[in-house]
Amino acid sequence: MNIDELSTQLAGKNPRVILKAALEQFNHIAISFSGAEDVVLIDLALNIRKDIHVFCLDTGRLHPQTYQFIEKVRKHYGIDIEILSPNRELLDTFVKEKGLFSFYEDGHTECCGIRKVEPLRRKLASLEAWITGQRKDQSIDTRQDIPEVQQDSAFSTPSHTLIKFNPLLNWTSAQVWDYIEAYQVPYNSLHQEGFVSIGCEPCTRAILPNQHERVGRWWWEESTKKECGLHAGNVTK
């Protein structure tokens, strides 16, 4: 399979077409689930095939509402959601040496690397492809130039090529929420409290009307190039 050809074929296509192609091309493929976009993907994917594989990251620092949201989605669709956890030894060593809030002093990269990137890397090593809820308008600094289909430069290795699908790439936030309302898709109750982009509890806050959604993430850091490492390939030097 030629990824460049597939990317050209799917460029600008609607999410259903991209999802259908992804699920037909690969058996070892999974949807990464954490937010509103990802539940839209689950809802769409289940209309294509019923045996979808869904996973999410439990960093140990999520809001209570997020854990409730995960359970709500599991029950609503009657699906299994694989919960990925950090390596206990790495996490214990990190917390012992740097405490629970070191990211406020030296940035979020190290903490995200242990709580998110390491368990994700373990999971992706077992997959041929993964499906994400990335959208261009989530970040004007890091997500404007990504395609609907790409080789994942952050998690591919010389012996393992990983493909990433971004079916909602060209949707706006308004389109996501129109879908959620029209099809009664479950969502995180924090969205009703002014939270838009939701991550770990210490690193996420509500935003004001008309503020960009990424303003609520790692707000103490430089406003540009905010990625936690899951989509590190988006960040250019």
List, by residue number, the catalytic residues: 228
Half-sphere exposure in the Cβ direction for 169 (13 Å, CA): 23
Host H or E run for residue 118: helix 118-124
- Closest by Cα among 166, 55, 61 to 103: 61
The helix/strand/coil state of 83 is strand
Beta-bridged to residue 165, according to DSSP, are 131, 149
Residue ranges of the alpha helices (H) in 2-117? Answer: 3-10, 15-25, 36-46, 64-77, 88-98, 103-106, 109-112
